Amino acid sequence: MEIAKVCWDFVWSSAVSVWGLLEQAGIFVWDLLVTLHVQHPRLEGLIIGVSLAWLLSRKDKHPLLRAASAPLGLILDILDLAWDRSIEFLGDVWGTLVGWVKGCYGWCKNKVIGAWSWTIGGLKSVREKLRKKES
Q: pLDDT tens digit string along 13-48?
A: 999 999 999 999 999 999 999 999 999 999 999 999
Start-end of H helices in the chain: 2-39, 41-57, 63-134
Q: How confident is the model at residue 104, as a pLDDT?
A: 94
Q: What is the DSSP letter of 58?
A: T
CA 39 – CA 33 distance, rounded (Å): 10
CB atoms within 10 A of CB 69: 19
Question: What residue type is 59 in one-letter code?
Answer: K
Q: How far apart are the first and last CA of the chain?
A: 148
pLDDT values of the chain reduced to their tens digit, one per residue, 135 residues: 889 999 999 999 999 999 999 999 999 999 999 999 999 999 999 999 898 888 878 878 888 878 877 887 888 899 999 999 999 999 999 999 999 999 999 999 999 999 999 999 999 999 999 888 887
